[in-house]
């Protein structure tokens, strides 16, 4: 068992390192921060001084080694633009993003899963067809379209809700709805098919032939089995809590992590982009570890497979 | 006195009739074999009786248990019969147990449901049942999951679970098909032994004629959704009258006979969507004439007391073999 955890951690570390390396190389190949930050009219000596200041004249492998040793000391560098530690810039944006993504996740789980399960239990009914239609609508409409349509209706026409900013709780309503619609659709559809698959299994017939009331067949025998595939999808959603709102934050001018990504990439603010990717990769990796743990709790077959490792 | 009485049971899926009026009586403690090729309606008969078919199935006719009608009864009424009066075990024991629950819990669930046992009492009884069905060191293995048992042991767990409700009738739906030969014999022995001890009735659904002859008092042969012949096992096996029954016996390889070609039944089972007119077996039958192709023979009492649905039965005087026990599995 500890061996299994060690292997998982090693793999997680490797994943993060690969993301960091990739980001490092791509960022340095895709444009000169000095040009972008100082502008095209900057005097040549200022550009040279800037490059000297940030070590951009060194060969890329030397920069990379310097970067690695820096990270090992848990130093994530300083923003070229604001001269403040990059990691602080990132972390202070996280709460604003979570204020959108966590309520959205709750909506996705709270509406998507029950809707999908209900549809599966009433397969072929009017409600089932309604759920399928709405969920297709939900996950096919792009969030930038949905966001703008919601703004048009609720902010511009009805003037019930603000169209952007972060001043009151009301400001969060439209971004949260925009964020959750797609996930609700996907989860509803996925839960429905997971549940239909499970309901056709022989052990469900066994549970029924035992004389269990239908309610117990569903709650005690079908749902625990359907939960396994659903957890996979929920894991992706948990992993996207920090980085999953780039578009929506941009539409609604919400000062979260997503906005920071857009601004920092545009400015070639290397340290900030790298710190962002580190935090995002770490959140994905942690979500994956949680999914693995959840698998073990939900399905004893996976537990013993692991013990056999 | 029969306590289960099936009359004119019909089942249709999406407008395709797969069961064409089954009449069957089962007495207390009786063991009935139900044989026939795959898709002839053996399992569907009992799934329909217990309301276990998917919602799109249209079920007609009557199934009465001690006079209480099951077809069209409310869900709670049928649920009270399932497990308590009629229990069922299935073909694939490994996937018939819920993979995420411990086997003990699955047995105890039935004990709580049907006998009101809880906690330690339920656990003790579950261990006793697992012992009874021959699972070694039941007390420790009660906390294991289905995937930690072999197929044969899973079937034993299924039987223990079926016994938990102390049912009057056990439907064993091809209980040995997924198991290897030695385990098959063990499970059949176990079923006979339990029947002898508890006096419960049993329906053995099987296409294994040897299994049926070893376990059952009476056997019914089904073809394309109808019972074509039914008689006491001894009589049916020594002198099958329906050409189809006869064909089934002829298709069994002889273990000590000369090497020779098997005699198969030519053709295939008809598609239920396109049943031939008249007797469904006529296109494959050697003695079919024009009448067989236009009219469907009704089951009638045969000379030996059984039922037979055939215009041209095999001559009664030809004994097939001396004893039913001689039939290899």
Contact (CB<8Å) B79/A211: yes
Nearest residue in chain B measured CA to CA from A228: B100
ipTM above 0.90, yes or no: no
Range of the domain at A219: 94-265
Q: Indicate the range of A219-223, B227-231, B249-253 predicted with least confidence.
A: B249-253
Which position has the token pair 């068992």? A1
* Per-residue model confidence as pLDDT tens digits over B14-57: 889 999 999 999 999 999 999 988 888 899 999 999 999 988 89
Do the domain assignments include residue A251? yes
The tokens for A167 are 């001043």
Which position has the token pair 């024009």? B290
- Res. B319: pLDDT tops 70: no
CB pairs under 8 A between A and B: 80
- Res. B258: pLDDT tops 80: no
Angle subtended at Cα A300 by Cα A295 and Cα A301, rounded to the nearest 5 degrees: 95
CATH of the domain at A121: 1.10.3720.10
Pairing of strands B226-232, B57-65: unpaired
Q: What whole-number distance in Å separates Cα of residue B186 and Cα of residue B205?
A: 17
B28 plus B148 within the same structural domain: no
Q: Identify the helix (H) or strand (E) that includes residue B32.
A: strand B31-35
* Per-residue model confidence as pLDDT tens digits over A247-295: 999 999 899 999 999 999 888 888 899 999 999 999 999 999 899 889 8
B161 plus B73 within the same structural domain: no
B217 plus B270 within the same structural domain: yes
Q: What whole-number distance in Å separates Cα of residue B265 and Cα of residue B223?
A: 13
- Name which of B80, B98, B110 is nearest A203 (Cβ-Cβ): B98
B4 plus B106 within the same structural domain: no
B160 plus B187 within the same structural domain: no
Contact (CB<8Å) B99/A203: yes
Do the domain assignments include residue A126? yes
What is the dihedral sign for C-alpha B309, B314, B317, B318?
negative
The tokens for A77 are 């560098």
B118 plus B50 within the same structural domain: no
Range of the domain at B209: 1-85+168-329
B48 plus B176 within the same structural domain: yes
Which pLDDT band, with edges at 50, 70 and 90, does B2 fall under?
Answer: confident
Give pLDDT, residue B304: 65
Structural domains of chain A, count:
1
Q: What whole-number distance in Å separates Cα of residue B158 and Cα of residue B180?
A: 17
Q: In sequence order, which ranges of chain A are alpha helices (DSSP H)? A: 2-29, 33-38, 44-53, 60-72, 86-107, 113-121, 126-140, 143-150, 170-199, 202-209, 214-216, 223-239, 246-251, 257-267, 270-298, 300-307
B contact set with A (CB within 8 A)? 47, 50, 52, 55, 75-76, 79-84, 87-88, 90, 92, 95-101, 109-110, 113-114, 145, 147-148, 158, 161, 165
CATH of the domain at B71: 3.40.50.300
Do the domain assignments include residue A226? yes
Domain boundary among B166, B195, B217: B166
B117 plus B250 within the same structural domain: no
Q: Work out the average pLDDT over A122-143.
A: 93
B196 plus B322 within the same structural domain: yes
Q: What whole-number distance in Å separates Cα of residue B223 and Cα of residue B245?
A: 9
Q: What whole-number distance in Å separates Cα of residue B305 and Cα of residue B118?
A: 48
Residues from chain B contacting residue A299 (CB–CB below 8 Å) = 99-100
Contact (CB<8Å) A202/B161: no
Contact (CB<8Å) A209/B81: no
* Per-residue model confidence as pLDDT tens digits over B192-207: 999 999 999 999 999 8
* Share above pLDDT 70 across residues of chain A, in percent, rounded to a whole number: 97
Structural domains of chain B, count:
2
Residues from chain A contacting residue B81 (CB–CB below 8 Å) = 211
Angle subtended at Cα A165 by Cα A164 and Cα A170, rounded to the nearest 5 degrees: 80
User: From the CA atom positions of chain A, what is the Rg in Å?
Assistant: 24
Sheet holding B201-205, edge to edge: B86-89, B169-173, B201-205, B31-35, B218-223, B226-232, B307-308, B300-301
Which pLDDT band, with edges at 50, 70 and 90, does B60 fall under?
Answer: very high
B11 plus B70 within the same structural domain: yes
Give the Cβ contact number of residue A99 at 10 Å.
Answer: 18
3-state secondary structure B93-159: HHHHCCCCCCHHHHHHHHHHHHHCCCHHHHHHHHHHHHHHCCCCCHHHHCCCCHHHCCHHHHHHHHH
Do the domain assignments include residue A206? yes
Q: Work out the average pLDDT over B302-311.
A: 80
Shortest CA distance to B243 belongs to which of B272, B219, B221? Answer: B221
Contact (CB<8Å) A211/B95: no
Which pLDDT band, with edges at 50, 70 and 90, does B316 fall under?
Answer: low
Chain-centroid distance, C-alpha A232:
13
Do the domain assignments include residue A44? no
Residues from chain A contacting residue B79 (CB–CB below 8 Å) = 211-214
B224 plus B204 within the same structural domain: yes
Nearest residue in chain A measured CA to CA from B88: A209
Using the Cβ of A125 and the Cβ atoms of chain B, whether some distance falls under 8 Å is answered with no
Contact (CB<8Å) B90/A205: yes
Q: What whole-number distance in Å separates Cα of residue A166 and Cα of residue A281?
A: 26
Residues from chain B contacting residue A220 (CB–CB below 8 Å) = 101, 109
Nearest residue in chain A measured CA to CA from B48: A209
Residue B100: exposure state from Cβ atoms within 10 A (0-12, 13-18, ≥19): buried
Longest dimension (CA), chain B: 68
Contact (CB<8Å) A206/B96: yes
Residue B73 φ/ψ, nearest 5 degrees: -75, 160
- Res. B327: pLDDT tops 50: no
Q: Indicate the range of A209-218, A300-309, B2-11 predicted with least confidence.
A: A300-309
> CA of B11: how far to CAs of B8, B68, B115, B229, B274, in Å?
10, 20, 33, 20, 16
Pairing of strands B16-27, B2-13: antiparallel
B24 plus B161 within the same structural domain: no
Chain A nearest-CA distance from B279, in A, is: 33
- Name which of A209, A214, A300 is nearest B145 (Cβ-Cβ): A300
């Amino acid at each position: 068992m500890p061996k299994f955890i060690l292997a998982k951690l090693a793999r997680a570390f490797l994943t993060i390192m690969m993301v960091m390396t990739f980001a490092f190389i791509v960022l340095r190949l895709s444009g000169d921060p000095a040009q972008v930050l100082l502008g095209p009219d900057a005097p040549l000596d200022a550009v040279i001084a800037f490059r000297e200041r940030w070590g951009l004249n060194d060969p890329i492998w030397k920069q990379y080694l310097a970067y690695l040793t820096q990270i090992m000391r848990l130093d994530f560098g300083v923003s070229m633009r604001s001269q403040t530690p990059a990691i602080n810039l990132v972390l202070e944006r996280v709460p604003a993003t979570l204020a959108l993504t966590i309520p959205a996740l709750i909506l996705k789980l709270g509406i998507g899963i029950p809707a999908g399960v209900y549809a599966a239990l009433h397969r072929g009914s009017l409600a089932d067809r309604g759920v399928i239609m709405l969920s297709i609508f939900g996950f096919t409409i792009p969030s930038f379209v949905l966001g703008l349509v919601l703004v048009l209706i609720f902010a511009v026409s009805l003037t019930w809700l603000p169209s952007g900013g972060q001043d009151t709780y009301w400001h969060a309503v439209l971004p949260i709805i925009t964020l959750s619609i797609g996930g609700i659709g996907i989860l509803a559809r996925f839960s429905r098919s997971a549940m239909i698959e499970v309901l056709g299994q022989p052990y469900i017939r066994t549970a029924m032939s035992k004389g269990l009331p239908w309610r117990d067949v569903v709650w005690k025998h079908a749902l625990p089995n359907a939960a396994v595939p659903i957890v996979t999808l929920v894991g992706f959603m948990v992993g996207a809590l920090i980085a999953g709102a780039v578009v929506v934050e941009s539409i609604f001018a919400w000062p979260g992590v997503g906005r920071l990504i857009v601004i920092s990439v545009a400015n070639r603010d290397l340290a900030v982009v790298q710190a962002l990717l580190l935090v995002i990769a770490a959140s994905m990796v942690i979500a994956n570890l949680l999914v693995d743990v959840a698998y073990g709790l939900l399905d004893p077959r996976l537990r013993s497979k692991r013990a056999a490792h | 006195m029969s306590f289960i009485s099936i009359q004119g049971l019909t089942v249709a899926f999406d407008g395709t009739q797969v069961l064409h009026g089954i009449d069957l009586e089962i007495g207390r403690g009786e063991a009935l074999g139900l044989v026939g090729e795959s898709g002839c309606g053996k399992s569907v008969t009992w799934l329909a009786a217990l309301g276990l078919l998917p919602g799109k199935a249209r079920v007609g006719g009557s199934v009465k248990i001690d006079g209480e009608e099951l077809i069209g009864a409310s869900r709670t009424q049928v649920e009270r019969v399932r497990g308590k009066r009629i229990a069922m075990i299935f073909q694939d024991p490994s996937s018939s147990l819920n993979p995420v629950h411990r086997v003990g819990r699955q047995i105890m669930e039935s004990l709580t449901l049907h006998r009101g046992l809880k906690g330690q009492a339920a656990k003790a009884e579950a261990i006793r049942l697992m012992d009874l069905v021959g699972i070694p060191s039941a007390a420790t293995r009660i906390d294991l999951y289905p995937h930690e048992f072999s197929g044969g042991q899973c079937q034993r767990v299924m039987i223990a679970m079926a016994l938990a409700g102390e049912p009057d009738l056990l439907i064993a739906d091809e209980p040995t098909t997924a198991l290897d030969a030695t385990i098959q014999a063990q499970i059949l022995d176990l079923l006979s032994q339990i029947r002898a001890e508890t006096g419960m009735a049993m329906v053995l659904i099987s296409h294994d004629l040897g299994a049926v002859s070893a376990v059952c008092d009476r056997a019914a042969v089904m073809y394309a959704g109808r019972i074509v012949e039914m008689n006491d096992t001894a009589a049916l096996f020594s002198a099958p009258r329906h050409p189809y029954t006869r064909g089934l016996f002829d298709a069994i390889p002889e273990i000590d006979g000369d090497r020779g070609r098997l005699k198969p039944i030519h053709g295939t089972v008809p598609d239920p969507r396109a049943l031939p007119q008249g007797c469904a077996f006529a296109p494959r039958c050697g003695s079919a004439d024009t009448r067989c192709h236009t009219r469907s023979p009704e089951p009638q009492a045969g000379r030996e007391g059984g039922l037979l649905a055939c215009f041209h039965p095999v001559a009664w005087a030809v004994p097939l073999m001396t004893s039913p026990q001689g039939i290899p599995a």
